[in-house]
């Protein structure tokens, strides 16, 4: 039996030492019920505490040393752009080079730590995240405009990644099933790749950032973590947690600065062995291009683990629970203001029930409360920054020409980057708003004559991330399951909300390399298999 205590995995036949925690089967972290007075009070206290910490200046960390670059940028609160969340260093290509070299040096010792030691670090990090769960959520409320519920789910997912990948690393470190022969002793082990450039997004600034980072760590790799400039504070708080849990210097290096820093320096660096990226299609394609070209002194083919965009859909069959479908569409379209790669941006509804579903969706959309993310009554907070706001409003204007505006359609009141949840009906399948990723609270309603046409429309973009079908007909469900080309496909539920260990996440086509984050295959992306054969002497 495996037991865990203070960063170390123990093997024991006895449970006498009650200070050791048995490594139980993985279970997802429970979400907070903010309807409970105690939970609401705890979250308010966390928001108040974090508010007193805003505006601090944070360094780069290279090889364990705090470094100032001489030039900083400010992270702001999208609910109130006058509020500074923190000041961060503008790293240079020279800093990036030093960070990669520090990671390469740290890798030479970290790689030989046991899987038990490395998993212990992750379990400690998960425990610390639980202790300050609401504080981590509060940072997301302020820095990226996540509502209480969305921020809480993000923090829970980060805990899940630490717990799940820790267990997966232990599984991979165990004996692998091979065919046995009498003349040889054979084994297959999984060894780390080397230095990884981890480039996470701002929209899941804790969960995805933490998941990508700890997956690399627990398998023995070293990392240069380059967070989005829209969410560096949250990454900094997690980096501090790793340090407090005993992460050796240089195993993770914290590097902030312009986006080109990652693409032109980290991705091309000859000592970088792999790149883990989550973000837009265009940036992902550029990283893939850069990573494919061997640089002078490079001794390997780089791996590019790419999680990119989506143009996700929900199909509603003529025989379906229309109320459930409408609810699923609204939650999927407007959760975190539609700023999820899994968000529903296309509702594809059979003509027989089109008007009924549209009416229900419009009613539910108009009932959503738009406001500051710190307000517990808010359903839809701000979009992340001024550039995103302009882009989304421009798409809404395109949508006015391509369809019929039936809800929303412009800015919402308030000092932040608030946009009304918008529904545009009668959209053609080839319209821009039905093809291009908007990444905001804009939903295109598309009619279909039958299920076959609905599936054809659903598959008719360059993406293939998430999708859903609402139907009460088993044969239609089976057809949709076979033919809808999406990496994560759901039946009679929303198309967002993948759970670690339950719904391995990743998409097809221009949605990326189908990484299946939070699944049993993910750690294989940051390891390489080594087969060892030894002759048995008689």
Q: What is the pLDDT of residues 240-249, one digit of tens each?
A: 999 999 999 9
Are 420 and 410 in contact by the 8 Å Cβ rule? The answer is yes
Please give the pLDDT value at position 5.
57
18 — pLDDT class (breaks 50, 70, 90): very low
Please give the pLDDT value at position 260.
82
Residue tagged active-site, from 135, 143, 150, 307: 307
Cα 530 to its chain centre, rounded Å, is 30
Are 390 and 440 in contact by the 8 Å Cβ rule? The answer is no
Residue tagged active-site, from 162, 341, 344, 484: 341
Non-local (6+) Cβ contacts of 183 within 8 A are 535, 536
Tokens linked to 274: 């792999």
259 — pLDDT class (breaks 50, 70, 90): confident
What does pLDDT average to over the chain? 95
Residues paired with residue 463 on neighbouring β-strands, in sequence order: 509
Residues paired with residue 425 on neighbouring β-strands, in sequence order: 404
Please give the pLDDT value at position 1.
47
Cα 528 from Cα 198, distance rounded (Å): 18
Q: What is the pLDDT of residues 420-445, one digit of tens each?
A: 999 999 999 999 999 999 999 999 99
pLDDT value at 209 more than 60? yes
58 part of the active site: no
Q: What is the pLDDT of residues 266-318, one digit of tens each?
A: 999 999 999 999 999 999 999 999 999 999 999 999 999 999 999 999 999 99
pLDDT value at 16 more than 90? no
Domains parsed from the chain with CATH numbers: 42-308+516-529 (3.40.605.10), 312-499 (3.40.309.10)
Percentage of the chain lying above the pLDDT 70 cut:
96
Q: Is 378 exposed, middle or buried (0-12, 13-18, 19+ CB in 10 A)?
A: buried
Please give the pLDDT value at position 264.
81
Tokens linked to 237: 């708080």
Q: Are strands 184-192 and 527-535 parallel, antiparallel or unpaired?
A: antiparallel
Please give the pLDDT value at position 285.
96
Percentage of the chain lying above the pLDDT 90 cut:
94
Average pLDDT score over residue span 23-36: 96
Please give the pLDDT value at position 13.
44
Q: pTM for this structure?
A: 0.96
341 part of the active site: yes
């Amino acid at each position: 039996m495996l037991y865990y205590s203070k960063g170390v995995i123990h093997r024991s036949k006895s449970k006498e030492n009650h200070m050791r925690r048995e490594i139980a089967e993985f279970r997802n972290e429970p979400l907070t019920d903010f309807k409970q007075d105690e939970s609401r009070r705890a979250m308010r206290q966390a928001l108040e505490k974090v508010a007193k910490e805003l505006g601090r200046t944070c360094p780069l960390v290279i090889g364990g040393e705090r470094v100032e670059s001489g030039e900083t940028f400010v992270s702001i609160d999208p609910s109130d752009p006058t509020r500074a969340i923190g000041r961060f260093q503008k790293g240079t290509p020279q800093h990036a080079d030093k960070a990669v070299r520090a990671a390469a040096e740290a890798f030479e010792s970290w790689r030989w730590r046991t899987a038990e030691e490395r998993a212990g670090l992750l379990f400690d990090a998960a425990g610390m995240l639980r202790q300050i769960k609401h504080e981590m959520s509060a940072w997301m409320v302020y820095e990226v405009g996540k509502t209480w519920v969305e921020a809480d789910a993000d923090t829970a997912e980060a805990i899940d990644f630490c717990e799940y990948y820790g267990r997966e690393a232990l599984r991979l470190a165990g004996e692998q099933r091979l065919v046995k022969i009498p003349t040889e002793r054979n084994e297959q082990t999984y060894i780390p790749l080397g230095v990884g450039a981890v480039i996470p997004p701002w929209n899941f600034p804790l969960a995805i950032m933490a998941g990508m980072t700890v997956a690399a760590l627990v398998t023995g790799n070293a990392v240069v973590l380059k967070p989005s400039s829209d969410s560096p504070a949250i990454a900094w708080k997690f980096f501090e947690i790793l340090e407090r849990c005993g992460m050796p210097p240089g195993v993770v290096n914290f590097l902030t600065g312009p986006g080109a820093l990652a693409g032109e320096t980290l991705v091309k660096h000859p000592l970088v062995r792999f790149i883990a990226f989550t973000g837009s299609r265009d940036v992902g394609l550029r990283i893939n291009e850069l990573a494919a070209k061997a640089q002078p002194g490079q001794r390997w083919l780089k791996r590019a683990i790419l999680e990119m965009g989506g143009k996700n859909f929900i199909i509603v069959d003529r025989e379906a629970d229309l109320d459930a479908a409408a609810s699923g569409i609204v939650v999927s379209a407007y959760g975190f203001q539609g700023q999820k790669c899994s968000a529903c941006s296309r509702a594809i509804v059979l003509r027989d029930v089109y008007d009924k579903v549209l009416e229900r969706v419009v009613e539910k959309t108009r009932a959503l409360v738009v406001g500051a993310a710190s307000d517990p009554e808010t359903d839809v907070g701000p979009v992340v920054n001024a550039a995103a706001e302009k882009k989304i409003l421009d798409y809404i204007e395109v949508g006015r020409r391509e369809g019929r505006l039936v809800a929303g359609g412009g800015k919402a009141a308030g000092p932040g980057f608030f946009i009304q949840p918008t529904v545009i009906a009668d959209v053609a399948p080839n319209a821009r708003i039905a093809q291009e990723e908007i990444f905001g609270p804009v939903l295109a309603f598309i009619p279909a004559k039958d299920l076959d046409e609905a599936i054809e429309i659903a598959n008719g973009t360059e993406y293939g991330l998430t999708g859903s079908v609402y139907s009460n007909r088993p044969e239609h469900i089976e057809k949709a399951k076979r033919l809808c080309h999406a990496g994560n496909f759901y039946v009679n539920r929303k198309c967002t909300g993948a759970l670690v260990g339950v719904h391995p996440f990743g998409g097809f086509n221009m949605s990326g390399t189908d990484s299946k984050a939070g699944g049993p295959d993910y750690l294989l992306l940051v390891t390489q298999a080594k087969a060892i054969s030894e002759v048995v002497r008689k």
